[in-house]
Amino acid sequence: MKKSYIYAFLLIAIVVVAVSYTVNPPIEQAPVENKQQLTANNGASPNGETNNSNEMLNVNSNYEACGKGTLQSPINIEVNETIDEEQAKKLAEQVSLNYDQAIFAVENIGHTIEANSTTLDNSLLMNDKEFKLTGIHFHSPSEHQLNGQYFDMEAQLFHESEEGELAIIGLFIESGKENAVLAEMWDEIPTDGDAAAKLLKNPVDLQQLLPENKEVYQYVGSLTAPPCTEGVNWLILEEPIEMSNEQINRFSSIFLQNNRPIQQLNDRDVYKFNLN
């Protein structure tokens, strides 16, 4: 009698196991093409965050200059600490502007408004090397300081040589009358970073964009955004240009603050001279 109970129990157990296997078959593992796939997530938590701080630091190793560079921009320019006049005069003889008009395509690139020149006819000559104007970036408030003071905005005119060297002219912008030279550009500023670039109908007169007084401060610095490339020739015009409050507010409504903090001067020389 006991054996009958035992046989019945074993039969029921076998049936239950068979049914369970049929309803929930074993999960097939996806094929692994190479062993590296098995270790690709080593050191990472289930949410994708790495547990290896060194690996995190290496993610942007190309941007090392941003944190460790010694020739970084922007800087505070102390007017009374610029290099003596004789050396500045020699430098002034080696720098000249060749500006006329250019049509720009305006684009929101996520961290600033970029106006790209559709022509390479405008240039900056330094030490007999030509730097072609490629575009203009804008920042609010200004990135550079003059005697410890910020301006409402700063326009940066980018130039590049055939060898890829960079020279940037910085324009301080302060509140005042409407800037007619940039009026159309400002009307076309894209508020959406995903929007396509807008080609302006009318050319911008670059000579009219610059202030009447063309005294500049020159120093060697860097890009103010990653990769923070050093060796950039900066020319910062002392006299600001003007934009209306409405124009300034239009930009700051898109980018409330997109300037990089002031960087250490690190004993760099700053020259002051008149830009021809």
- Bridge partners for 155 per DSSP: 138, 171
What are the b/e assignments for 217-241, b being 16+ CB within 10 Å?
bbbebbbbbeebbbebbbbbbbebb
Q: Choose the catalytic residue: 111, 137, 139, 144.
A: 111
Q: What distance in Å separates the CA atoms of residue 153 and residue 254, rounded to the nearest whole number?
A: 13
Q: Residue 43: left if φ>0, alpha if ψ -120 to 50, beta else—which one?
A: left
Q: What distance in Å separates the CA atoms of residue 24 and residue 249, rounded to the nearest whole number?
A: 63
Q: What distance in Å separates the CA atoms of residue 160 and residue 131, rounded to the nearest whole number?
A: 5
- 111 given a catalytic annotation: yes
Compute the 3-state secondary structure of the chain and give helix, strand, coil in percent, each to the nearest 5.
25, 30, 45
DSSP 32: -
**Taking the mean position of all CA atoms in its chain, how far away is CA 56?**
21
Pairing of strands 76-77, 145-146: parallel
Catalytic residue set: 111
